[in-house]
Chain A
Amino acid sequence: MATDTHRAIEAVWRIEAPRLIAGLTRLVRDVGVAEELAQDALVAALEQWPAQGVPDNPGAWLMTTAKRRAIDRIRRDETFRRKVEELGRELDETTPDIGAQVAEDDGIGDDLLRLVFVACHPVLSTEARAALTLRLLGGLTTDEIARAFLVPEPTVAQRIVRAKKTLASARVPFEVPQGDELAARLSSVLEVVYLIFNEGYSATAGDDWMRPALCEDALRLGRVLAGLTPREPEVHGLVALMEIQASRSPARTGPGGEPILLADQNRARWDQLLIRRGLAALDRAEELAGGKPGPYVLQASIAACHARARHFEDTDWARIAGLYEQLAEATPSPVIELNRAVALSMAFGPAAGLELLDQLIAVPALRNYHLLPSVRGDFLAKLGRPAEARVEFERAAALTRNERERTLLLDRAAACDQPM
């Protein structure tokens, strides 16, 4: 029975932690202290609930308990009291009742959004932002974060402690950035959410089974964010992108965990529910973007082209090539150009792709990127130039760090000797 209650407490924590920490941060203006208070309340729940049962309104119980701890702490700790007073906050020493809690729920959305911006503040490293976001807004334990990122638990714990210290010493305000600052800060938030998603989505090493959970965490964070900032096209764009990419998860790996590329995926296994959700989010994003789509909306549009094609042959490559062109304008990158070359070759033939590709050969960032010679070899082979294709495949094989891929590329190189 005690274990059942413990599992129920864990579940309540997952649901309530973000709101609890957000509400407490508003009170004490320090995420580190707020999280400690929330943890104290969790400990109290672990002590009391197994005997007394889970209360009817567990969220309010946790908040009331945490606020009492805050008041105790202020009584005990003179320095802490001064700090809180400095910030112009006053803590009501009477015990907050549950009715008042419910009334306060109205402002909780704003507090959550403030917490998002604090956890993703640019003063922190990207890894720290990701860990802190999962901890404070995803309700994940340090151990879960460590397993998700395949790093030792003490590393994550330390990362989080340091992040909280950095936020405190930088006196990062608990507020939603305004004006010009908003766009930059929002993109820092989106970057973190997409990083978490990709950590789960593009992983090929380690214990694979834990990784889809990370995609789910990122999606959940993205959906929360979309609810908090309903007017931001890029937020809906990112949600659309993640929903559509996640829809392919069941078709992306073979029985041995090996990756299956888009062209070869069994589209019947794509998750139609996530596709519909993704397309709906994309509609909203495009409407809000008003003809000026940002990078996430464009990437989601590309993903949507694939999602709409029932068969690989039905893919609208001309549109995809056009979207990559827009994306390259918004965020110039040789890797995007490489993708555009592939789309061009699919739409207009290998010669069109090769033309763009040849302009990329001199780009330093792609010098050791195995996909450039790999794609070039493919175009050349299709154009009936096997000798040149062979050289490219061999070069790509020498550059890749993936064994499976190397074998495959050497096979393709060898195949160039066969009469066409």
Chain B
Amino acid sequence: MRFMVITKATADSEAGRPATTEEIGTMGGFIQEMMDAGVLLAAEGIHPSAKGARIYFDGEKKTVVDGPFAETKELVGGFFLVETKSLEECVEWFKRCPITRPSDGEPTNIEIRQVIGAEDLGEQFTPELREAVEKRDAQAIWH
């Protein structure tokens, strides 16, 4: 099962305060541990929302709004993509994530969401795909 693990923005991350050497070190250790265990697929940190933008969709109308955005705690601070056997295993891994308390003392959270996989799309095959199935041919043996 694949999970997207979303860390949240904090007052510090929104202010663009860089992580300390120690924070980078401990997070690096955590990432290395997940890599060594073969569960980490990707991990990225992201810049403050001031460097980003939003596109609002209202029917045909599209409006672009530049950052920063106000609701800090709802913003994404970074993400991990991991592959684990279960949600519980993912939870156990991320209980070990070295999240430090931001300087304003506010609590933060990590959100774990399951990525939709092939098994979830079973019925939703397009007509083109069905046609491709019918076209299948015994000539080749590559898989």
Contacts and interface: CB of A to CB of B under 8 A. Distances in A.
Interface string A186-217: 00000000000000011000000100110010
Contacts, number: 126
Interface string B100-143: 00000000000000000111011101101110110111111111
Given A306-B142, A342-B140, A342-B141, A254 B133 contact: yes
Interface stretch (B12-20, B48-56, B70-78, B84-92): B84-92
A273 B140 contact: no
B93 interface: yes
B140 A8 contact: no
A61 to B, nearest CB: 13
Contact of B143 (A11, A252, A274, A408): A252
Contacts of A109: 36
Contact of B132 (A202, A216, A245, A260): A260
B38 interface: yes
Contacts of A400: 138
A352 B122 CA distance: 40
Contact of B88 (A8, A58, A263): A8
B43 to A, nearest CB: 12
B24 interface: no
Interface centre among A221, A245, A273, A405 (most CB of B within 10 A): A273
A70 interface: no
Give the interface size class of chain B.
35 or more
Contacts of A277: 41
A396 B138 contact: yes
Contacts of A269: 118
Given A260-B133, A262-B140, A306-B142, A219 B38 contact: yes
Nearest to A265: B132
Contacts of B93: 15
B68 to A, nearest CB: 29
Contacts of B126: 266
A258 B133 contact: yes
13 contacts: A10-B86, A15-B89, A202-B143, A212-B119, A224-B36, A254-B130, A255-B130, A258-B136, A259-B136, A261-B142, A262-B142, A262-B143, A375-B140
* Nearest 8 interchain pairs by C-beta: A223-B38, A250-B118, A220-B38, A11-B88, A254-B133, A11-B89, A378-B139, A11-B92
Interface of A: 7-8, 10-12, 14-15, 58, 109, 201-202, 209, 212-213, 216, 219-224, 227-228, 245, 248-250, 252, 254-255, 258-266, 269, 273-274, 277, 306, 335, 338-339, 342, 371, 374-375, 378, 396, 400, 405, 408-409, 412
